[in-house]
Amino acid sequence: MSNELLSFIERDSVIHRLNGATKLICFILLSSAAMLSYDTRVLLFIVFVSVIIFILSKVKIREIGFILGFILFFLILNNIAIYLFAPQHGTLIYGASHQIIEGIGRYSLTWEQLFYQLNITLKYIAVIPPALLFIVTTHPSEFAASLNRIGISYRLSYSVSIALRYIPDIQRDYKTIAKSQQARGIDMSRNEKLGKRIKNASSILLPLILSSLDRIETISNVMELRGFGKRKKRTWYSYRKFARRDMIAISMSLIIFGMMIVFMFLNNGRFYNPFS
């Protein structure tokens, strides 16, 4: 198991055994369905599917707990910002106003606004599990090979692989530099005030950028010496063929996406209006 954030977590699960391209296609379909629809019924179903996928992946919540907490913070912040800047947006969308609490000026709390912001929250909850699982259950090399298999240039596929591999490398460099700076007396613990900690943390950025540039140059030289990009095709060490489970996963994602389109026609738009 990796201790790095947003890096591959090895497990023996049906999600891990899916082809990398399959997971990408399913993620795009599920996230597109969740982003395009404001139908609460569709969003709740996608949330249910996302939770099932998360359980099947055997990835523990504590392994991605920091990222989930970070996203939850911005979800709450986003809901607060929506109400502050558009407290009556829900009433405009649903064409009704059922007041819960009378406020000052336009800041009156209505069921329509709460319902609208509930749908926004469901969108986040529906998309987050597939997005995180796509990253932590897909090995970069296998994913690059899958992308190349479905027709994407192997140069671009390999660039994606390097980018995914680079995430844990940056984290390791950050921790190493942070420990070195702390050994020199730069305190970033809770003993210092928040402003001082942020200022001290900024001293890590320059060494981190320089080490990253050095690594980029090293990788570029190695790839050039090995003749990368000179031929139209290449072979892949990590490649997984499309299996029956991949077809089932893609078919289920297409069904969910199709369900979203059907409900859009039934609702005469993207919004489900229980107030009409």
pLDDT digits (tens, 9 = 90+) for 155-180: 777 777 777 777 777 777 777 777 77
Using CA atoms, how far apart are residues 131 and 135, in angstroms rounded to an integer?
7
Is residue 209 assigned to a domain? Answer: yes
Using CA atoms, how far apart are residues 69 and 28, in angstroms rounded to an integer?
23
Q: pLDDT category, 237, cuts 50, 70, 90?
A: low
210 and 118 housed in the same domain: no
11 and 123 housed in the same domain: yes
Is residue 23 assigned to a domain? Answer: yes
Using CA atoms, how far apart are residues 124 and 56, in angstroms rounded to an integer?
20
Total residue length of the chain: 276
pLDDT at 73 over 60: yes
Q: What is the average pLDDT value for the chain, to the nearest integer?
A: 80
- 200 vs 127 pLDDT, higher one: 127
Is residue 146 assigned to a domain? Answer: no
192 and 262 housed in the same domain: no
In which domain, by residue range, is 175 found? Answer: 154-237
Using CA atoms, how far apart are residues 43 and 162, in angstroms rounded to an integer?
34
Is residue 211 assigned to a domain? Answer: yes
216 and 233 housed in the same domain: yes
272 and 225 housed in the same domain: no
17 and 118 housed in the same domain: yes
119 and 25 housed in the same domain: yes
pLDDT at 6 over 70: no
65 and 201 housed in the same domain: no
Q: What is the pLDDT of residue 189?
A: 63
List of residues 6+ apart from 179 with CB closer than 8 A: none
**β-strand pairing of 99-101 with 109-110:** antiparallel
Is residue 148 assigned to a domain? Answer: no
Is residue 248 assigned to a domain? Answer: yes
User: Three-class SS of residue 96?
Assistant: coil
177 and 222 housed in the same domain: yes
DSSP H/E element including 110: strand 109-110
Is residue 147 assigned to a domain? Answer: no
CA-closest candidate to residue 62, choices 24, 123, 9: 9
69 and 50 housed in the same domain: yes
Q: pLDDT category, 235, cuts 50, 70, 90?
A: low
130 and 217 housed in the same domain: no
pLDDT at 1 over 50: no
How large is the average pLDDT for residues 69-77? 87
**Domain count across the chain:** 2
How large is the average pLDDT for residues 7-18? 82
- Entry pTM: 0.74
Is residue 145 assigned to a domain? Answer: no
Q: Give the range among 52-66, 186-200, 260-274 with minimum mean pLDDT.
A: 186-200
Q: What is the pLDDT of residue 236?
A: 66
40 and 133 housed in the same domain: yes
